[in-house]
Amino acid sequence: MPILSLPTTPACAASRFGLVSNTQSFHSPLSGSVQTLERPGARWQAFYKLPPLKRAQAAQWQSFLTQLRGGAGRFYGFDPDARTPRGSASMQLTSGSNQLRNSMGAGAVVGIIGSGGAAPTHWSFSGANGLTRQVTAIGSDSGYDYIEVRFSDTPSSNFAFVNFETATQISTNEGEAWSGAFSYKLSGGSTSNIIAVQQRFEQCKADGTQTAAQYVNVGTLDASWRRASATRTISDTTPDSVRIRNGFFLSLTPGSAIDLTVRLAQPQLERGSSASAYIPTSGVARSRDSGARIDGSASVGTTLNTWNWTPGSTNILRVGDYVAFETAFGRALHLLTADASSDATGRAALSIEPPLRTAPADNTALILSNAACVMALVDDSVKWESDAQGIVQIEFAAEERF
């Protein structure tokens, strides 16, 4: 039997909507004390009362109620007085992807490369060539999860770089446009004796041998977070299968000493003629459809991890707003217990009730308008009243089913 939707008109004249917790209490006959145990299984309950209806208006509701066949049927029930969020619900409305597998920079080790320090997993530094290459810090700054790198001493070659992916991982085809981006910030030293600070696109054979490269200046490098983005169109791939990656690149003068420390964050590489909003990855490439979504599969208890909001937005959702999403056991409905804002990556941890029954799957869409759960009629008996003037009165009670 399909899950039905509530008729849209006319709207309810009155309603009650609330949560019933599942608890068990023990009353001590000796001391009079009470111990209460909370069990899983909190559920939503609703009572809907419609305004006086003429027969033609009542017909939709009568049809809906009879199709439910008492408590056997199911429908999507929601709070009629909170059908849309009070928050801005400001979210990304475009799709995108990030083919870099580790944009979060996991696996980095603070220290000198080759002497205990290590680049993040799948990242790599250029050869030493006279330079000391170092991971100097791993942290968070203004919502940016960064890797801080330092290049110092006197180079014997004309370049230094940090690649954000291995040379053989990302496949592409002749004529495709690819857009790369990353965020950066000056942390120490200067650009003295550095010819250019750039984003490099490296085009390789299937075995990782470089065949072509493109260099695009990133612009101002100072103590403010900035984002570099550029696009490359793939060409001259025949006869080799082509691979692509991007990275942070320094153009140098051999023999001229440098000392530069920068923070790198949020690298991204995707098919398309322009860079989309940042998509965090940790271990695998990730795609994004439009709209707010579940972030990962680690949400537990009363915290729901979400992403794909407009970065840095205040009050995307407000206390009392509802969110719903699909799970393996049906649609879940939760109420926000605190205002929520997004960070610089478009992520937000939502405080909710009731607690999650099961962790939702990564990238599951959030339902914000008419957020609902699956309900059934409490009573198998479906009735309505009418008077001599043909005015029909309809009211019914329902409870969540999962």
What is the tens place of the pLDDT at every residue in 199-227? 999 999 989 999 899 999 999 999 999 99
Tell whether 58 and 197 lie within a shared domain: no
Tell whether 200 and 254 lie within a shared domain: yes
Amino acid at 234: I
Does residue 58 have a pLDDT over 90? yes
Output the pLDDT for position 92: 81
Does residue 5 have a pLDDT over 80? yes
Q: Which of 117-121, 309-313, 349-353 is predicted least confidently?
A: 309-313
Tell whether 359 and 383 lie within a shared domain: no
Output the pLDDT for position 191: 97
Tell whether 37 and 66 lie within a shared domain: yes
> Exposed e or buried b for every residue in 139-178, given b needs 16+ CB within 10 A?
eeeebbbbbbbbbbeebeeebbbbbbbbbebbebeeebeb
Residues in the chain: 402
Q: Average pLDDT in the 303-309 region?
A: 94
Q: Are 83 and 369 in contact (CB under 8 A)?
A: yes
Q: pLDDT tier at 126 (50, 70, 90 boundaries)?
A: very high
The total number of structural domains in the chain stands at 3
Task: Decide if 281 is inside a domain.
Answer: no
Output the pLDDT for position 330: 92
Report pTM: 0.79
Output the pLDDT for position 348: 95
Q: Average pLDDT in the 130-139 region?
A: 97
Task: Decide if 17 is inside a domain.
Answer: yes
65: helix, coil or strand?
helix
Does residue 143 have a pLDDT over 80? yes
Q: Average pLDDT in the 54-72 region?
A: 95
Does residue 237 have a pLDDT over 70? no
Q: Average pLDDT in the 132-159 region?
A: 96
Pick from 318, 367, 363: nearest CA to 341: 318
Task: Decide if 85 is inside a domain.
Answer: no
Does residue 240 have a pLDDT over 70? no
Task: Decide if 283 is inside a domain.
Answer: no
Residues of the domain holding 104: 97-271
Rounded Cα–Cα distance for residues 91 and 349 (Å):
14
Place of tokens 């609902």: 372
Dihedral angle, C-alpha 134, 139, 141, 144, nearest 10 °: 90
Tell whether 246 and 296 lie within a shared domain: no
Q: pLDDT tier at 334 (50, 70, 90 boundaries)?
A: very high
Rounded Cα–Cα distance for residues 390 and 387 (Å):
5
Tell whether 45 and 143 lie within a shared domain: no
Output the pLDDT for position 235: 83
Long-range contacts at 53-62 (CB < 8 A, ≥ 24 apart): 53/10, 53/391, 53/392, 53/393, 53/394, 54/390, 54/391, 54/392, 55/386, 55/390, 55/392, 57/9, 57/10, 57/392, 58/384, 58/392, 58/394, 60/7, 60/9, 61/7, 61/384, 61/394, 62/384, 62/394
Domain CATH for 333: 2.40.30.290
Does residue 238 have a pLDDT over 70? no
Does residue 8 have a pLDDT over 70? yes
Task: Decide if 277 is inside a domain.
Answer: no
**Strand pairing of 226-233 and 373-377?**
unpaired
Rounded Cα–Cα distance for residues 321 and 369 (Å):
10
Rounded Cα–Cα distance for residues 209 and 357 (Å):
50
Pick from 402, 372, 331, 379: nearest CA to 71: 379
Q: Among 211, 239, 271, where does a domain finish?
A: 271
Output the pLDDT for position 359: 87
Number of Cβ atoms within 10 Å of the Cβ of 203:
22
